[in-house]
Structure 1
Amino acid sequence: MFRLQEKNGVQYYTIDSFEKTGLVKHCFTTRVGGVSKGAYESMNLRLNCDDARENVLRNFEIIGDAIGVRRRDMVLSHQIHEDVVYNAAASDRGNGLMRENALDSADGLMTAARGMALVTFYADCVPLFFLDPVKKVIALSHSGWKGTVKKIGAKTIRQMAEVHGSNPADILTGIGPSIGVCHFEVGGEVAEQFEAVFGKQVLQKFGEKWHVDLQKAVTMQLLEAGILENHITNAGICTYCNSGLLFSHRKTQGHRGSLAAIMELK
């Protein structure tokens, strides 16, 4: 399960199955425990917004201290709602936070380098966590609706196999808090794209409106890619329904901060 933790006033989620391996430091942040104000209150990790940069950097430091990750060891990418997965090397440490972002646009990050923390950002989209305890490889993927249709989760698994020799049956996965089918209303054109890829089982009709179950669509692609059912941990938490704890782009019509998935191999 995703377990809500608290340390020094900072609240964040960890995944039990990942914790039990003893191989990683990781979390999915909440909006609780930072220094930002207003729409960004308080653990905003979004740099390119109206929040003061010094607040965001302080928030990175606070969450890093809570989980034992150094800010200078974090690596960020520029997310563009696509399906590119970047294999980060030790030389990428500090990219996007301690120095100008030099990475090509990527919505997925993976690495076998120890002591380097991957960071991806969210405010309704689906956070995907991957840990291969055999090959000691980790990955994070930002699965928005476009990335979900393009199956970035399955692509991440293929990349782990091709680059690092991972066996999908060994990989542990986590599906973090994201907008639920209860609030993810879409137009007919988007609904048709999901039906073409996943079938009608990921669609629900609320009155005259179509809603998409992103978490179900992601689960389907993980299973199809060879992940074992008991290696999938789904938080089952809707960001829109829990906007006091989590940032939701749709709930606030874009006036919000960003949550982050963070993971580092020890």
Structure 2
Amino acid sequence: MAEAVLIDLFSLQMNSQTNDIQKLLCSMLERIEERFSASAPFVYIMCYQTPRSERSSEQDLLLKVISSFQILKKGIEVVCKTSTAAALYTIKQKLDEKDLSIIKIILPVQRKALMEVFIDHLFTAVYQFQFEDFGVDCEGNNLQQIAEPQNDIQTLPAHEMELIRNEIQTYLESLPDLKGKLTILKSSLIPGHIFLHGFTTRTGGISYIPTLSSFNLFSSSKRRDPKAVVKENLRRLANAAGFDSETFHSVKVNHASDVWIMGKPQPDSYDGIVTNQKDVTIAAPGADCIPVLFADPVKKACGAAHSGWQGTLLGVAMATVNAMITEYGCNVKDILVVLGPSVGPCCFTLPQESAKEFYNLDPKCVRQFESPAPYIDIRRATRILLETGGILPQNIQDDSVTDQNQSLTFCTACHPDTFYSHVRDGTNFGTQIGFISIRD
């Protein structure tokens, strides 16, 4: 059963007869009331709003007629915008505010293929859409019944797809930053004249859902932030940091220790990535897991790794180091390693069976070991493994050495205004990243 109904009037000609529009809406609303008499859904009417400078008196009257339904019928909202992207994104915000996921769209059959493309870009698999034709010709000057049902259009021409993508991108680029300015944290350990790098926080993007707001940099089918929004956040980061978002590569997390050497065939999943190419930016995500950056200023090579508790135990950090040594001839004593923001031992627990592996590595990695769910220090464990592998202690930046810059190693769970946290926020959580590239 639909939780919301969207009536798409966007493509109706604004010189259509006002009476015809009124009759159409009355008919559809009556149909909705009959069908959902037991549990009335929220109803959104989406229509085109001509820029005021171009609007005629007839168009003003038509908008007033459509808007009047918002007053007459409880649970109806009218959304008038100058583009489909703007109207649909506004309705998405209303759906998310009410936590609605099942939506029926009533629209002209000619709009279905186009609407599916917009939905693909602006929504994720969390939402379920059903389509129903309201049986009018949206291309003629008048509202005329379609005599014969038309077959669904499966695909749009490439140039129309591109127009839709451009419309969405233009609209998202116009949205203001939320929750403050875009902030990039940098390490004094990595030489800035050789490497461009940083760690993001959660401010300065356009993601509006509370647990994803505002600078979320990862889209998942299980969350409500679509790829288009994440792409816009990344574009803003690239502009601020000075890299090309079109040559950006982030690890494909598998919570293991596989490493992709850029230039070789790309695995389906990997938690580390290394390169010596100057025209690319590589990154690792984190939302409690550690985004780890690696830099060799001698051989001018770099790496990024995603190190959660499983990846830490599997040795993803040293696997990334070893890939740099093997592929680029790096000396382990030249490699600099910076651990970005992650969950601290103050907030992260594991069942005792898993905690035993950290305790065996070093008892200092575990607090309250005798409890059913001991607290785990994955950053200390990562340092121990790196030092064991030959990385010099002074070449590692984390919070286990008190005289180093700790602005990069806050506990993500303890700082809700600055960082995302899966532990704190649950399944619909946002993601920050650590990124690095070699300057020209």
Q: Structure 1 length normalisation: TM-score?
A: 0.88
User: Is 2:364 the partner of 1:201?
Assistant: yes
User: Is 2:299 the partner of 1:87?
Assistant: no
User: Is 2:310 the partner of 1:146?
Assistant: yes
Partners of 1:11 and 1:236 lie apart in 2 by 15
Partners of 1:78 and 1:161 lie apart in 2 by 22
Q: Secondary structure at the match of 1:16?
A: coil
Q: Secondary structure at the match of 2:186?
A: strand
Shift of 1:9: 2.2
Q: Secondary structure at the match of 2:345?
A: coil
Structure 1: which 5+ residue stretches go unaligned? 1-7, 93-101
Q: 2:430 aligns with which of 249, 257, 261?
A: 257
Q: Which residue of 2 aligns with 1:238?
A: 411
Partners of 1:248 and 1:53 lie apart in 2 by 20
Shift of 1:213: 0.6
Partners of 2:182 and 2:362 lie apart in 1 by 40
> Quick check: 1:21–1:133 contact (8 Å CA) kept in 2?
no
User: Is 2:181 the partner of 1:9?
Assistant: yes
Shift of 1:33: 0.4
Q: Which residue of 2 aligns with 1:168?
A: 332
Any idea what the Cα deviations from partners look like across 1:109-160, whole Å, max 9, x if unmatched? 0001112000221100011110001111100010110010111111111111
Q: Which residue of 1 aligns with 2:66?
A: none
Matched-pair identity in %: 28
Q: Secondary structure at the match of 1:263?
A: strand
Q: Secondary structure at the match of 1:17?
A: coil
Q: Which residue of 2 aligns with 1:122?
A: 286
Shift of 1:207: 8.2
> Quick check: 1:86–1:110 contact (8 Å CA) kept in 2?
yes
The aligned length equals 247
Q: Structure 2 length normalisation: TM-score?
A: 0.54
**Which of the pair is proportionally richer in helix?**
2
Q: Which residue of 1 aligns with 2:385?
A: 221
CA RMSD after TM alignment: 1.7
User: Is 2:234 the partner of 1:60?
Assistant: yes
> Quick check: 1:187–1:210 contact (8 Å CA) kept in 2?
yes
Partners of 1:75 and 1:177 lie apart in 2 by 20
- Which consecutive segments of 4 or more residues in structure 1 shift more than 6 A? none
Partners of 2:359 and 2:369 lie apart in 1 by 16
> Quick check: 2:333–2:391 contact (8 Å CA) kept in 1?
yes
Any idea what the Cα deviations from partners look like across 1:191-241, whole Å, max 9, x if unmatched? 112223x13121111883411111100111111111111111113310000
Partners of 1:63 and 1:45 lie apart in 2 by 10
User: Is 2:352 the partner of 1:188?
Assistant: yes
Q: 1:26 aligns with which of 179, 197, 207?
A: 197
Q: 1:70 aligns with which of 244, 256, 273?
A: 244
**Which of the pair is proportionally richer in strand?**
1
Return the index of the structure with the highest Cα Rg.
2
Partners of 2:369 and 2:318 lie apart in 1 by 29
Shift of 1:17: 1.8
Q: Report the CA distance shift for 1:103/1:75 in structure 2 as closer, same or farther (over 3 A).
A: farther
Partners of 1:225 and 1:206 lie apart in 2 by 26
Partners of 1:22 and 1:167 lie apart in 2 by 20
Q: Secondary structure at the match of 2:199?
A: strand
Q: 1:51 aligns with which of 187, 204, 225?
A: 225
> Quick check: 1:223–1:229 contact (8 Å CA) kept in 2?
yes
> Quick check: 2:283–2:305 contact (8 Å CA) kept in 1?
no
Partners of 1:194 and 1:59 lie apart in 2 by 36
Partners of 1:24 and 1:219 lie apart in 2 by 22
Any idea what the Cα deviations from partners look like across 1:70-127, whole Å, max 9, x if unmatched? 11010133211000011112x99xxxxxxxxx64200000001112000221100011
Q: Secondary structure at the match of 2:292?
A: strand
